[in-house]
Amino acid sequence: MKYKKQYLYSKFERFWHWTQMLLVLLLTLTGFEIHGNYEIFGFETSVRLHSASAWSFMGLALLSIFWMFTSKQYINFIPTKNKLKEQVQYYTSGIFKGMPHPTHKTLFNKLNPLQRITYAGLLILIFPVQIITGIAYMYYHYPQNPIDAEGLTLAVYAHTLGAFMVVAFVIVHMYMTTTGYSVSANVKAMISGYEKEPEEGTAKEETKTQTDKH
């Protein structure tokens, strides 16, 4: 079996990803505790941790924006219709038949068309909405200050909806990591930076049983 090994995820990108994972986990756990769904840390601790992790998240987001534009990696997140249909067909039927992935990752094409749409949605819609409503939550408490917004109910609802979307994203995202050439390949790539992919034409059925000899 021949493998193509390519360096996809830079050190910053991996740091960004795993830090963001931990922050999203912390934000979710504390957020839903504040929402009144359960008790883990205690309300006050949750509030303080939620605010603090929100700040870390925003700092990290700034760094990542800087990184995306200096490294031109933002290109990865621009949605495309190219091969979108094939990608949908792959996840809805091809994957069950062991068909090969319709798209292949390169440094400037890491994300398949479906991922591009999802991540663009996450980065352009969900995260900014969470950040803006979150800042309002922290600093724009009361209607008279400085303009009358008649309370934060709408911002709060948007923030709650965003939270549910993030949880749904995390569930699907975690599952999708298992759809690489092997169940753990994508996670390993996000750890080492290197993604190993069978050379073109190698059927999935075979690769699944391969043990990593490298």
Q: Least separation, in Å, of the C-beta of 129 and other proteins? A: 14
Q: How many residues make contact with other proteins (CB under 8 A)? A: 56
- Give the amino acid at 137: Y
**Interface with other proteins (CB under 8 A), residue from 6, 29, 51, 117:** 51
Q: Least separation, in Å, of the C-beta of 172 and other proteins? A: 5
**Interface with other proteins (CB under 8 A), residue from 81, 96, 200, 209:** 96
97-136: contacts with other proteins (CB under 8 A): none
Closest by CA to 134, choosing from 99, 103, 163, 93, is 163
User: What's 51's DSSP letter?
Assistant: H
Rounded distance between C-alpha atoms, residue 171 and residue 5, angstroms = 28
Rounded distance between C-alpha atoms, residue 183 and residue 118, angstroms = 21
Q: Is 56 exposed, middle or buried (0-12, 13-18, 19+ CB in 10 A)?
A: middle
Residues that bind other proteins (CB under 8 A): 11-12, 14-15, 18-19, 21-23, 26, 34-36, 43-45, 47-49, 51-53, 55-56, 60, 91, 95-96, 137, 141-145, 148, 150-153, 156-157, 160-161, 163-165, 167-168, 171-172, 175, 178, 190-193
